[in-house]
DNA sequence: TTTTGTGAAGTTTTTCACAGCG
DNA sequence: CGCTGTGAAAAACTTCACAAAA
């Protein structure tokens, strides 16, 4: 069955929360409580979890460790993804050091930057290559996912070089520009100004 | 009429695109073309724009500059928002220098960090204060929006101090932790690991 | 003729409400 | 009895399809 994107998004939130509850030695938690902690309706929580089988106990709730393992199994890939980060500017470097990019699900195997002073160096333990060599390095290393932190005007060029390697399957882009990719490459976007604009819009229009 | 969040999100994309088209001296653009450039259906574009009155010309399309001005009017706040950034780590600093935080809609008026070496300094032209003084400084300056780039475990404390000032209306948080705020404070979240997890999940499950 | 603007239809996502199990 | 799991209802959002304007 196809799982909806909003559900996957919340699964990650459940996963984090359960990790925390586990650390607090909590044994059991109800959909009601999960909902309160994450700002969701209890029925939403139950519906999400029900897509993956009956995991709770009626009259009791969800066993924290069991649910944690369960969601972990749903979210985990069957292998280690190989990732490259393109654009080692301030944002790129900040992300490299950021908790979000530490995971046992993937490894950052290469950095790319158009600044030839950066090429050849090792940053946060990851070798940096010149952007000109992107196609070959990505192909050679079998990189499947790109994290794009280049300026908007460099985004499409970078993507084209990466796609040319033939190994690419997904892109997480922080660039504001629209990028075009083959149908079989999945793109997710993190757009800081869009989020800020939305916040200000709804603040202006007298609240949510 | 209440405008839906997905619509506001796309308005920002239209706005950006129109700016670009304007620079390319394009005079007129159709919903069809906007859709192609942004990966949206033409009917979606027309529906979004129709919420704000009849702005296009049938048989012709949308006049680039006119539509740009129009959307600008919808998105613009009626005043300059005062923003503070909390947590001047790598991510915080990267954002400070980032294009997303340059705008004539708001101004970053204060930074806060728990590191007392940073307090008293001026970073990217913005004075940095000690987090302990957050409540007073926010109140004094009339800060209405917070950008939160602190570690998860510091998020709630920071928020509480900011809320105590009584001037806060919205928060854009990069922290992974759930935060609780009064009902009248609007929270938007930019969650890098969630986006990456979603990407990997849908890659794993054999594409979108 | 071309392309908008828009009700109506369709799809997706959330919420309700309650049967059913522990 | 308490709380899950889940069809069914509701709400939110997108797409269709066509009348109407330029």
Question: Given this model, what pLDDT does residue B207 score?
Answer: 46
φ/ψ of B155, rounded to 5, equals: -65, -50
Which single residue has its CA nearest the C1' atom of nucleotide D3?
A: A59
In this structure, chain A runs to a length of 208
Asked whether the beta carbons of B12 and B71 are under 8 A apart, the reply is no
pLDDT of B208 over the 60 cut:
no
In whole angstroms, what is the distance from residue A74 CA to residue A71 CA?
A: 5
The 3-state DSSP class for residue B133 equals helix
Mean of pLDDT values over B50-54: 95
Kindly state whether A58 is in contact with chain B, defined as any CB-CB distance less than 8 angstroms: no
Asked whether the beta carbons of B184 and B166 are under 8 A apart, the reply is no
Question: Given this model, what pLDDT does residue B75 score?
Answer: 95
Kindly state whether B9 is in contact with chain A, defined as any CB-CB distance less than 8 angstroms: yes
In whole angstroms, what is the distance from residue A175 CA to residue A147 CA?
A: 10
CB atoms within 10 A of CB B34: 25
Asked whether the beta carbons of B142 and B167 are under 8 A apart, the reply is yes
φ/ψ of B159, rounded to 5, equals: -60, -45
Of B114, B100, B120, B124, which is closest to residue B151 (Cα–Cα)?
Answer: B114
Pick the CATH number of B81-194 from 3.30.70.141, 2.60.120.650, 3.30.365.10, 3.40.50.720: 3.40.50.720
Give the helix/strand (H/E) hosting B113.
strand B106-113
Q: In Å, what is the separation between the CA of B172 and the C1' of D4?
A: 34
Categorize the per-residue pLDDT at B2 as very low, low, confident or very high, splitting at 50, 70 and 90: confident
Residue-averaged pLDDT of chain B: 96
Which residues in chain A belong to E strands, given as ranges?
A: 28-29, 62-63, 81-86, 106-113, 122-123, 126-130, 145-148, 170-173, 186-189
Query: Which residue is it, tokens 């925390």?
Result: A20
Distance from CA of B29 to the nearest CA of A (A): 17
Q: What is the pLDDT along chain A (208 residues), one digit of tens a residue?
A: 789 999 999 999 999 999 999 999 999 999 999 999 999 999 999 999 999 999 999 999 999 999 999 999 999 888 899 999 999 999 999 999 999 999 999 999 999 999 999 999 999 999 999 999 999 999 999 999 999 999 999 999 999 999 999 999 999 999 999 999 999 999 999 999 999 999 999 999 874 3
Question: Given this model, what pLDDT does residue B106 score?
Answer: 97
Question: Given this model, what pLDDT does residue A55 score?
Answer: 95
Domain with CATH 3.40.50.720 in chain A: 81-194
Question: Given this model, what pLDDT does residue A208 score?
Answer: 38
Question: Given this model, what pLDDT does residue A207 score?
Answer: 47
Q: Which residues of A touch B190 (CB under 8 A)?
A: 190, 192, 195
Q: In Å, what is the separation between the CA of B62 and the C1' of D10?
A: 36
B79-131 per-position pLDDT tens digit: 899 999 999 999 999 999 999 999 999 999 999 999 999 999 999 999 999 99
Question: Given this model, what pLDDT does residue B206 score?
Answer: 74
Q: Which residues of A touch B38 (CB under 8 A)?
A: 178
Distance from CA of A64 to the nearest CA of B (A): 18
Domain with CATH 1.10.10.10 in chain B: 5-75
Write out which nucleotides of chain C lie closer than 7 A to a protein Cβ.
Answer: 1-7, 12-17, 20-22
Nearest to B98 among A101, A192, A199 (CB): A192
In this structure, chain B runs to a length of 208
Residues 150-169, chain A, touching B (beta carbon < 8 A): 169
Asked whether the beta carbons of A159 and A145 are under 8 A apart, the reply is no
Picking from A94, A147, A151, A180 by the largest number of B CB atoms within 10 A of its own CB, the best residue to mutate is A94
In whole angstroms, what is the distance from residue B163 CA to residue A74 CA?
A: 37
% of chain B surpassing 90 pLDDT: 95
Taking CA atoms, what residue in B is nearest to A13? B194
Beta bridge partners of A147: A85, A172
Taking CA atoms, what residue in A is nearest to B35? A178
b vs e for A32-50, b when ≥16 Cβ sit within 10 Å of the residue's Cβ? ebbbebeebeeebbbebbe
Write out which nucleotides of chain D lie closer than 7 A to a protein Cβ.
Answer: 1-7, 12-17, 20-22
Asked whether the beta carbons of B203 and A170 are under 8 A apart, the reply is yes
In whole angstroms, what is the distance from residue A45 CA to residue B8 CA?
A: 27
Flag if B12 and A178 touch (Cβ within 8 Å): no
% of chain B surpassing 70 pLDDT: 99
Mean of pLDDT values over B55-67: 97
B18-43 per-position pLDDT tens digit: 999 999 999 999 999 999 999 999 99
Q: Which residues of B touch A12 (CB under 8 A)?
A: 193-194, 197-198
Distance from CA of A146 to the nearest CA of B (A): 10
pTM of the model: 0.95
Nearest to B186 among A17, A97, A207 (CB): A207
The CATH number of the domain covering residues in A5-75: 1.10.10.10
Mean of pLDDT values over B67-81: 94
Asked whether the beta carbons of A186 and B175 are under 8 A apart, the reply is no
């Amino acid at each position: 069955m196809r799982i909806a994107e909003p559900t996957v998004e919340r699964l990650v939130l459940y996963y984090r929360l359960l990790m925390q509850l586990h650390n607090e030695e909590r044994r059991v938690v109800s959909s009601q409580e999960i909902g309160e902690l994450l700002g969701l309706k209890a029925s939403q929580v139950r519906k999400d979890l029900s897509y993956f089988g009956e995991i709770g106990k009626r009259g009791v709730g969800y066993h924290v460790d069991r649910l944690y393992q369960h969601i972990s199994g749903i979210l985990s890939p069957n292998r280690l993804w190989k990732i490259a980060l393109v654009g080692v500017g301030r944002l790129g470097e900040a992300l490299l050091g950021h908790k979000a990019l530490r995971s046992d699900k993937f490894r950052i195997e290469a950095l790319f930057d158009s600044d030839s002073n950066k090429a050849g160096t090792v940053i946060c333990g990851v070798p940096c290559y010149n952007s000109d060599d992107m196609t070959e390095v990505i192909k050679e290393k079998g990189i499947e996912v790109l994290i794009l932190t280049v300026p908007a005007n460099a985004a499409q060029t970078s993507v084209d070089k990466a796609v040319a390697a033939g190994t690419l399957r997904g892109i997480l882009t922080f660039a504001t520009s629209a990028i075009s990719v083959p149908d079989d490459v999945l793109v997710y976007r993190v757009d800081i100004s869009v989020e800020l604009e939305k916040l200000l819009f709804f603040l202006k229009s007298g609240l949510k």
